[in-house]
Amino acid sequence: MKGLIRFIADFFPQRASTLEEFAYLVQEQGCTKVRMENRIEVEGGALTIVVGHIGNWHEVLHCMAFPANKRNIVFREKLLSRFGSAEGFADAVARRDQAIRSFLMVERRMQRLQALLPEHVIVSLEGPTGETMDEDMFTRLHRDAEAFEASL
């Protein structure tokens, strides 16, 4: 029976509509860890042989908290959108700039969320490699943003 309840809790998470509501739910349910990740999602378009998928690409922020024995809490926000290809040479600069800008936006959201939550709650950001971003990765991100003149 507990397995069925856990399955339902994982399958139907609580959805927050704003970052502030997400922070409120995290505090209310006593979560101690929040994981943030920046995902790329494609909408519509077509698959081609030469440049891969052409369509609308969205950088989406996903925030997740995992309370003990309760439904997970999820917040999702679309950050940036662009129309282009997955592997086309002409879109390479746009893809790079969008990736840098979206991580800068996610970093700002992370700082805002940390300000809304108590200090005992750990907020971590998953980087492009799948590892948790540390200070060194944030330093490299800001260095890349300056080098490629990508700003918000």
pLDDT of residue 83: 86
Which helix or strand (DSSP H or E) is residue 23 part of?
helix 19-28
Residue type, 90: A
Per-residue pLDDT tens digits of the chain, which is 152 residues long = 667 766 776 678 899 999 999 999 999 999 999 999 999 888 888 888 887 888 888 899 999 998 887 788 999 999 988 888 877 777 788 888 888 898 899 999 999 999 999 999 999 999 878 889 888 988 988 888 888 777 76
Which domains does the chain show, CATH number per domain? 2-147 (3.30.720.90)
pTM (two decimals): 0.82
Residue 94's pLDDT is 82
Q: Using CA atoms, how far apart are residues 51 and 90, in angstroms rounded to an integer? A: 10
How is residue 44 written in tokens?
Answer: 């519509």
Residue among 62, 23, 59, 36 nearest 124 (CA): 36
